[in-house]
Amino acid sequence: MDSSSSTAPEWKPAPKHGKNNESCWQGRQVELCEANGQHQVVLPASRICLERPFFSKMLEMQSDMKPTLLVLAAGIGSRYGGLKQMDPVGPSGETIMDYSIYDALRAGFGKLVFVIRHDIEQQFRAAVGARFENRVPVKYVFQELDNLPPGFSVPNNRKKPWGTGHAILMGADAIQEPFGVINADDFYGPTSFRLLADHLRSGSRDYAMVGFVLRNTLSEFGSVARGVCRITAAGYLEAVTETTGIEAAGAGAKYADDQGHIHRLDGDAIVSMNLWGFGPSLFEHLRRQFGEFLKALARKEKAEFYIPAVVNALVETGRERCRVLTTPDAWFGVTHREDHPRVIHSIRAFVARGDYPERLWT
């Protein structure tokens, strides 16, 4: 289209284009229209009109874009001492994080952003970051208690981090593309990353959550907390309920509520293990909701701004949709110190089966 033309286009609806009859580019909804008799595209923020062939090329470019992986590595394990993200579990000294990043890179992720703390930066860069800096772009961002919006300060009694929602918000200046989110100390499996990478490259503006089968996520050595999911018939997340004290019970699981009543959970229930996919639109939602959280709960010493609560609010209000991608992979991690030998055994079995090389990084 000649940008110098003074003829105002006549806008009227045109046929939809894109997956699920949606029109989107880089996670942003666009308007398809007819302007001066030709199908064209309008990017909503600027009302810039693009000819359809050029827009099609942009869609192709998006499908070739590699999503970013945001790794939440600033957490302090309250029940498991030390920097558990750095404990070796592989035959050549690899950490759980190494296996997750290995799976993510071969699934198609192309950049790493680590959320860490300043006090572990030197150790983390040397022990973890150095392995990847010559392979893919790597950035570091920092989750600190005093990283707050203007007008807020850290309460005197606050010691705990502000939560996963706050940690993800720290990546806002480093990420402009679709991205996945993982916990540094969780093993998610190769299929999980393939499902998420495919979704993030699909052009869909929907957020995504990789859902795990509950029985594949339990610990033999104590109770766990899981985000139990309610899912619509169409495969979208309806709600995540954070449930604590879950223990294995036969083929399923059980937990006690605040009144001590025992509740049973189906072993096939789908749970969230904090493997998410988002567009950069999430950051504005996080800013808004984190401000609301601080106004209401900042003085509560143990209150945390969790990402499942953020997604719940967005889904409930219809601001966003979240597709559930169910994975057959088993999850495991080091919730309790006794889990560590089991993780080592599981990794060795995967290596013996040929799922991973003896040495991940050469």
Look up residue 125 and give its amino acid: R
Tell me which DSSP letter residue 105 carries: H
Look up residue 198 and give its amino acid: D
Tracing tokens 């018939």 back to the chain, one arrives at 233
Closest CA to 180 of 73, 332, 335, 66: 66
> Is pLDDT at 64 greater than 70 in this prediction?
no
Q: How far is CA 228 from CA 54, 217, 252, 308, in A?
A: 43, 12, 13, 10
The Cα 167–Cα 221 span in angstroms is 28
pLDDT for residue 268: 94
Tell me the pLDDT band of 83, cut-offs 50, 70 and 90. Answer: low
Q: Which residues of 312-322 are buried (b: 16+ CB within 10 A; e: fewer)?
A: bebbeeeebbb
Q: Which alpha helices (DSSP H) does 160-281 contain, by range?
A: 164-169, 190-200
Segment among 21-30, 147-156, 175-184 with least mean pLDDT = 21-30
Q: What is the mean pLDDT of the chain?
A: 83
Residue 74: phi, psi to the nearest 5? -95, -5
Q: Which DSSP string corresponds to 56-68?
A: HHHHHHHHHPPPE
Segment among 39-48, 161-170, 336-345 with least mean pLDDT = 39-48
Dihedral angle sign, alpha carbons of residues 293, 296, 297, 299: positive
Give the orientation angle of helix 307-316 with respect to helix 282-297, to 10 degrees: 110
Taking residues 97-126, what's their average pLDDT? 94
Condensed to tens digits (0 to 9), the pLDDT of residues 203-239 reads: 999 999 999 999 999 888 888 889 999 999 999 999 9
Provide the CB-side half-sphere exposure for 328 (13 A, CA). 1
Condensed to tens digits (0 to 9), the pLDDT of residues 263-282 reads: 999 999 999 999 999 999 99
pLDDT for residue 160: 87
pLDDT for residue 53: 54
pLDDT for residue 86: 67
pLDDT for residue 330: 92
- The pair of structure tokens assigned to 261 is 């009543």
The Cα 138–Cα 114 span in angstroms is 8
The Cα 283–Cα 28 span in angstroms is 14
pLDDT for residue 334: 79
Q: How far is CA 155 from CA 143, 188, 284, 299, 301, in A?
A: 16, 36, 24, 6, 8
The Cα 326–Cα 90 span in angstroms is 26
> Is pLDDT at 84 greater than 80 in this prediction?
no
- The pair of structure tokens assigned to 173 is 């200046």
Q: Kindly report the three-state secondary structure assignment for every residue of 137-165.
A: CEEEEECCCCCCCCCCCCCCCCCCCCCHH
Condensed to tens digits (0 to 9), the pLDDT of residues 283-306 reads: 999 999 999 999 999 889 889 999
Please report the domains of the chain, with CATH numbers, ordered by start residue.
Answer: 19-64 (no CATH), 68-353 (3.90.550.10)
Tell me the pLDDT band of 8, cut-offs 50, 70 and 90. Answer: very low
What residues have CB less than 8 Å from 51, skipping those under 6 apart?
1, 38, 40, 41
pLDDT for residue 54: 52
Task: Give the residues across from 31 on adjacent strands.
Answer: 42
- pLDDT cut 70: percent of the chain above it: 79
Answer yes or no: are the C-beta atoms of 22 and 32 closer than 8 Å.
no
The Cα 242–Cα 255 span in angstroms is 12
- pLDDT cut 90: percent of the chain above it: 64
Tracing tokens 């997340």 back to the chain, one arrives at 237
Answer yes or no: are the C-beta atoms of 348 and 92 closer than 8 Å.
no
- The pair of structure tokens assigned to 339 is 């889990």
Residue 354: phi, psi to the nearest 5? 90, 10
Task: Give the residues across from 68 on adjacent strands.
Answer: 111, 179
Segment among 17-21, 101-105, 242-246, 345-349 with least mean pLDDT = 17-21
